[in-house]
Amino acid sequence: MRHSRSEFGVGRDRDSDALAAHAPYAAAWEDLRRRHWVMWGVYLAFFPGKWLIAAVYAKLPNYHSPQIFVIAGSAWIVAFVVSSYWAADWRCPRCHEVFIKGTWYRNPCARYCLSCGLRRGAPNGTEPGISG
């Protein structure tokens, strides 16, 4: 039996409601993944960006100033610092503290919240923390 579009829409809403009830942190983890993709995208854009600017520079016959590299390099550094800070400032969905910040240190590769111990990717907050 075929379902109409509206039936699929309703079913999808029910599924997403059920998913949200079972995994209320799913959207938060997706936000963390997006931040990391943006940060790594900015970082890796350096290499093709460098080659692209060098190619454009080579095509400009009467332009011999290296300022284009200074400007582009500065813009890349600013973009990388901002995206890195944005990724590092992500807050734990359970305790709302900065995920990678412990009492005395930061660990950008932390697999669990350094404040409450929530495992990265945990579907909800029912898992025990560092102290539990």
Rounded to the nearest 5°, which phi and psi values hold at 64? -120, 15
Residue in the structure block whose two tokens are 């944005």:
86
| Beta carbons of 50 and 12 less than 8 angstroms apart | no
The distance of closest approach from Cβ of residue 129 to Zn ion in the complex, given in angstroms and rounded to an integer, is 7
Least spacing, CB of residue 101 vs Zn ion, in Å: 10
- Closer to Zn ion by CB, 72 or 95: give it: 95
38-77 footprint of Zn ion as x/- string (CB under 5 A): ----------------------------------------
Q: Which range of residues in 16-24, 38-46, 66-74, 112-120 is near Zn ion by CB under 5 A? A: 112-120
Looking at residues 75 to 104 of the shown chain, list those that interact with Zn ion (rule: CB under 5 A).
Answer: 92, 94-95
Residues with Cβ < 8 Å from 34, sequence gap 6 or more? none
**What residues contact 87, with CB distance under 8 A and at least 6 apart?**
32, 35, 36, 38, 39
- Segment contacting Zn ion (CB under 5 A): 27-35, 54-62, 66-74, 108-116? 108-116
In angstroms, the Cα distances linking 2 to 6, 7, 40 are 12, 10, 43
Of residues 87 and 92, the one with the C-beta less far from Zn ion: 92
Give the pair of three-digit tokens for residue 28.
């938060």
Reading the block at residue 85, the tokens are 């800070």
- How many residues lie near Zn ion (CB under 5 A)? 7
Contacts with Zn ion by CB under 5 A lie at 92, 94-95, 113, 115-116, 118
